[in-house]
Structure 1
Amino acid sequence: MFNLISILIGLVSLVIVVPSQIPLLGWGNWVALPLVVVGIAFGALSSSNGGRNFCLIIFAIAVVRLMLGGGVV
């Protein structure tokens, strides 16, 4: 059950992170990061690793985008 919740949270975060890759919309990554961390936590409580790994990939994409944009842009 926790794995399914983690995947659903990851999908919601993915919907936020994908448009945030456009310049001047990088602030969306700051909205998505807390959601992804919650998804990682739920994935860690699960016996399966799929949801956690999915959220970790989304987290990495958001963090790299924030680093490239200087944290704001």
Structure 2
Amino acid sequence: MGLISLIWGIVAALFMCIALIPLVGWANWLVIPFAAIGAVIGAIGVMLSSKGGNGRAKAGLILNGIVVVVAVIRLQMGGGII
């Protein structure tokens, strides 16, 4: 689960970088739910893995959380259109 969440977070971060381009801000409406699903997968991975072996799940959870926060801030700045 941890590896899936980490890869999901990397893909979400790439999409978020594309959505930072002016006039492509509407893509953040797609990035936020995508990253939220990755964060849920990461949280499940953290809960199901042992204490020492949950590094990838934590990294995926944190990365997806950062993507959601940045995408929400970008939507607030541009109103979801620009």
Compute the TM-score of the two structures, normalised by the length of structure 1.
Answer: 0.89
Structure 2 gaps, min length 5: 47-53
What is the CA RMSD across the aligned residues, in angstroms? 1.0
CA distance in 2, matches of 1:58, 1:40: 10
Structure 1 gaps, min length 5: none
Give the letter aligned to residue 9 of structure 1: W
Q: Which consecutive aligned stretches of 4+ in structure 1 deviate over 2 angstroms post-superposition?
A: none
Q: Deviations over 1:3-35 (max 9, x none)?
A: 111111111111111011111100111111111
Shift of 1:72: 2.1
Computing the radius of gyration from Cα coordinates, the structure with the larger value is 2
Q: What residue number does 1:54 align with? A: 63
Compute the TM-score of the two structures, normalised by the length of structure 2.
Answer: 0.80
Shift of 1:53: 0.6
CA distance in 2, matches of 1:3, 1:22: 30
